[in-house]
A and B are shown apart, each in its own frame.
Chain A
């Protein structure tokens, strides 16, 4: 213990800053500083936007458009009833529910048909063979008649005003193409894994997406809860083959010159994975899509072309830099430190822990300040030091693994998440895109 203090005493403040340059130069401004700058901006903005928001809401109710709620999925039958019930409770009432059963092997069809017969679901369509999430969503889109499409996962539930709130942004600004809603962990208190994820979701949605939104660089409208203009989706031909189809579609909307916004007022609860293994699998799938869609499918956004726009470029660069480059760079940083300090490396770890824990706690302060119900967030504070390991080691490790696998082995095309037939066809298509670019 004495050695530990001796070590840091010798290093001094200058040494501390030098050793943790990674944090102070790259992470502190991006996460902590930005969160507080944004917090101020947001408070001011909300204050002045209040009238605009009220007007938009009034306009929504005056128009009272039909909304198509689409729910594509496989083997989700057990969730249908709960989903329908949470939708029946919505304050917004003019919607149709279209459920697509994408080749389920359980009793989804039976349950769905029964709900359809009893008028709880407006249209229940089943594909005898699985086509993947994109084609299922597209089939729903084909038969949807509402002005806006709200895309949901069957295992989610919603605050009573969630549908209403996710529609408001369409009336707040011109040319809004899609609106993302906030997602929170429904089973947050179940165990450590879900609690960590609950905190992570607050981070992603409360600060992450809100900031990205006000900077105009929001990259994703989550498939679990997102609203889209139907005419725009039809024009774009809907979703392309996944995984990562949500981010992919968001990019296509941006390319068309529409805005993507986020509202933290529309809240959806979803069940998050309950073990580290399941969580790792989920994150590997999410992470792969970055490589696939940034580097392969939508590389045009990175280079000057007809579709080029600064905010799109910035959105992509930020995403690639922070998620991909820094992720890999971090391992290099860690190895260099270990080699340089050798035996004293342990002191660095403990010091780092303090630093990151403090940072997490301060950052969480911003989340509490931004959130609608502040009191129930306080219970998460004791878990914040643990988040250092969860985000810093676990998630980073999983992500790095996924990037490398995808870069060199094209894993996502073999993913069981999509049927083989669609993966093969999609890969062929992307190869052709690659050829065109190389040709230029």
Chain B
């Protein structure tokens, strides 16, 4: 990060001193100097200026006049360099960053720059919540000199763990964002991470407070009981323990086939298996469905569908230390990973361009929508994170099926839009058919119990209608 700065000073000697000081700072980039107010205003308006060193007493106006008259000049970008202390209070009323009295020590100058750089970082953070959180975490770890930033077990937390200081910034529903944000900081090189623990969370609300229990594979009732199966060696009888319990309350186990009393496990009998019976539907089974019930949102999820997550502890890198001191800015943007896959506006834009192109030249193009009718049933089981992954995977698979000049994008989680350029309807139909086949294959391979219902709509691109009109027509024609 470099900050463009200008110097406004009428005294030539001071201009040189200031310029030298500026050039010593690696974060500062000197882009110009002004001798009076008018020149200063012109510079500020013409160039992208991040920092202004401003003298109060100028030949044509005061420094405050410059701040008032230069429209683009935020007083937060101004450091006043003045011969007297008397305007100090007025300067801070204006909201300038610092006020340095001439003559000054180099140290005093450096301090002003450091403070300014930190402030710039901070004001940038307000753009992104994630940046702000990362910076906050880094500062916390740095100032407390925490070598290993570990999560603390905490029963009321959404994940069952909190990261001190950081988690406190989130309300309960969003606490699960914390590890994601810290992981971004790892990706950006501010932190390194080490494995701390693994845990499962609800696919829907990311709550970690889950109840695990067996249930009937037939009717999904949790009202099931298991019984040991006994194998009596000498007569080969095999059946549930209750077959061997002659009378209620008796502790003896007697074989119902040969009337012998069982004496010694491993010698004359053993228990090679257990069988469950459902009290609801009387189904017999050995392989119960294990389901996890979320105590927060009540959804009941098959454990096979739960996603295992890793909980990490974090350590500052030297880049992280610099960021904590304000010497490096944190700029990672927002947390939205689906933007490249689901983007209605982008498709509309591309279609509009295609319409324009078609007006110029004579060729045929088509648009298609593929509607995954019942895929939300699958999303329900998968939860948000895995559903997003699935959509992304579908997107990548479909991308391989179409020509490079064609466009595909998810309109939303259930509808896929295709723009097939320079093809007539018949060719476009073949391509759409191929795409549908691949989608089906992918889903069938991975979800044997789910049969996807799919429908499509296809229409030629027309020059007489707007992209908007054609897209809404495409949606209406869904069969």
| A residues whose Cβ falls under 8 Å from a Cβ of B | 103, 113, 116-118, 123-132, 134-136, 138-139, 142-143, 237-241, 245, 421-422, 424-426, 428-429
Q: Which residues 250-286 of B have a CB within 8 angstroms of A?
A: 256-258, 266-268, 270, 272-273, 275, 284-286
Those 5 A-B pairs whose CB atoms lie nearest each other, nearest first: A237-B257, A134-B236, A425-B233, A127-B272, A425-B234
CA distance A135 to B273 in the complex (A): 12
- Nearest CB in chain B: distance from A240 CB, A: 6
Given A103-B272, A424-B233: 10 more A-B contacts, CB < 8 Å = A116-B285, A117-B449, A118-B448, A135-B238, A138-B236, A138-B238, A142-B243, A143-B275, A237-B256, A429-B234
- For B275, the chain A residues whose CB sits under 8 A away are 125, 143
Number of interface residues of B (CB under 8 A): 28
In contact, A240 and B236 (Cβ under 8 angstroms)? yes
- For A428, the chain B residues whose CB sits under 8 A away are 234
- For A127, the chain B residues whose CB sits under 8 A away are 229, 231, 272-273
Asked if B154 is at the interface (CB within 8 A of a chain A CB), the reply is no
A-B contact pairs, 9 of them (CB 8 A): A116-B287, A123-B284, A127-B231, A135-B238, A237-B235, A238-B236, A425-B233, A425-B234, A425-B268
Asked if B363 is at the interface (CB within 8 A of a chain A CB), the reply is no
Name the residue of chain B whose CB is nearest to the CB of A245.
Answer: B236
Partner of A125, one of B257, B267, B286: B286
In contact, A135 and B286 (Cβ under 8 angstroms)? no
In contact, A126 and B273 (Cβ under 8 angstroms)? yes
CA distance A131 to B230 in the complex (A): 10
CA distance A304 to B285 in the complex (A): 47
CA distance A159 to B287 in the complex (A): 32
Name the residue of chain A whose CB is nearest to the CB of B243.
Answer: A142
CA distance A132 to B233 in the complex (A): 9
Asked if B240 is at the interface (CB within 8 A of a chain A CB), the reply is yes
- The digit string for B315-356, where 1 denotes a CB below 8 A from any CB of A, is 000000000000000000000000000000000000000000
Name the residue of chain A whose CB is nearest to the CB of B272.
Answer: A127
- For A237, the chain B residues whose CB sits under 8 A away are 235, 237, 256-258
> Are A113 and B287 also in contact (CB < 8 A) when A131-B272, A237-B257 are?
yes
In contact, A139 and B268 (Cβ under 8 angstroms)? no
CA distance A241 to B232 in the complex (A): 10
- For A132, the chain B residues whose CB sits under 8 A away are 236
In contact, A143 and B284 (Cβ under 8 angstroms)? yes
CA distance A125 to B231 in the complex (A): 14
CA distance A131 to B275 in the complex (A): 16
Asked if B151 is at the interface (CB within 8 A of a chain A CB), the reply is no
- For B233, the chain A residues whose CB sits under 8 A away are 131, 241, 421-422, 424-426
- The digit string for B143-159, where 1 denotes a CB below 8 A from any CB of A, is 00000000000000000
In contact, B234 and A241 (Cβ under 8 angstroms)? yes
- For B76, the chain A residues whose CB sits under 8 A away are none
CA distance A241 to B257 in the complex (A): 13
Asked if B217 is at the interface (CB within 8 A of a chain A CB), the reply is yes
In contact, B284 and A142 (Cβ under 8 angstroms)? no
In contact, A125 and B236 (Cβ under 8 angstroms)? no
- For A130, the chain B residues whose CB sits under 8 A away are 272
- For A142, the chain B residues whose CB sits under 8 A away are 238-240, 243
